[in-house]
């Protein structure tokens, strides 16, 4: 497992550097579109929990109106997903450009920086929000045992169309079975998952 972690980290660094260079024109174009579409910052920073529950400020390209997080509690009843996750198919907080960014997963591209810094990995459970983790059952906290990732089994299996409990079980199954082969398989499966945008909202 030690050799796996070393090689995985090397792949993360190489992948993050290459990804940031390739994604830079896309992010710059998206940043301009965000600025022209709605007032507020281009980047959105939100506290997420990393390996062993360690918090970090995760960056995303802003896809919602400025201050959207303040309305989270009010909209909780409209969530399309069970459990502690808030997912709304037609979220009223989403901007016009933001809907496209979410659909194409472009809003996630700044997270390559967190992969480069070692806070995230290319493959691993998606980083959780503290208030969501506070509502986890004890067994669900196992998904915090590894670094969170840009993509995972949930990401390539239907994303928000998958019930929360199954999502957690997929993450835990990945943690128990993780290997370089499985990581490569998930990275390759991410391409058609992003292109089809299944469950992306």
Q: Band of the pLDDT at 27, cuts 50, 70, 90?
A: very high
In the chain, the DSSP E strands lie at: 43-49, 55-61, 121-123, 149-151
Tell me the pTM.
0.89
* pLDDT above 80: residue 106: yes
Highest mean pLDDT range out of 69-73, 82-86, 112-116, 191-195? 112-116
The candidate with the shortest Cα–Cα distance to 109, out of 194, 24, 198, 8, is 24
Confidence class for position 82, pLDDT limits 50, 70, 90: low
pLDDT of residue 176: 96
For residue 112, the model assigns a pLDDT of: 98
Mean pLDDT of the chain: 90
pLDDT band at 179 (very low <50, low <70, confident <90, very high): very high
* Dist CA 9 CA 76 (whole Å): 37
Q: Once rounded to an integer, what is the mean pLDDT over residues 41-66?
A: 94
**Residue 160: predicted pLDDT:** 75
Helix, strand or coil, per DSSP, at residue 79: coil
- How far is the C-alpha of 90 from the C-alpha of 179, rounded, in Å? 37
d(CA 198, CA 201) in angstroms, rounded, equals 9
- Residue 175's closest CA among 148, 155, 135, 136? 148
Q: Which two tokens stand for residue 75?
A: 């909209």
């Amino acid at each position: 497992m030690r050799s796996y972690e070393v090689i995985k980290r090397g792949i993360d660094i190489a992948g993050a550097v290459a990804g940031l260079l390739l994604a830079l024109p896309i992010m710059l174009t998206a940043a301009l579109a965000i600025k022209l579409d709605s007032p507020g910052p281009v980047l959105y920073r939100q506290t997420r929990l990393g390996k062993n529950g360690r918090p970090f400020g995760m960056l995303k390209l802003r896809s919602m109106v400025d201050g959207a997080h303040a309305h989270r509690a009010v909209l909780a009843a409209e969530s399309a997903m069970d459990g502690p996750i808030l997912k709304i198919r037609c979220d009223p907080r989403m901007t016009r450009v933001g809907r496209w960014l979410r659909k194409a997963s472009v809003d996630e591209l700044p997270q390559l920086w967190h992969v480069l810094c070692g806070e995230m990995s290319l493959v691993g459970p998606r980083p959780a929000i503290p208030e969501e983790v506070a509502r986890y059952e004890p067994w669900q906290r196992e998904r915090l045992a590894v670094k969170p990732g840009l993509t995972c089994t949930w990401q390539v299996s239907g994303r928000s169309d998958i019930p929360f409990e199954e999502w957690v079980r997929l993450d835990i199954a990945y943690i128990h079975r993780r290997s370089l082969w499985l990581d490569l398989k998930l990275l390759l499966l991410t391409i058609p998952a992003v292109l089809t945008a299944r469950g992306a909202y």
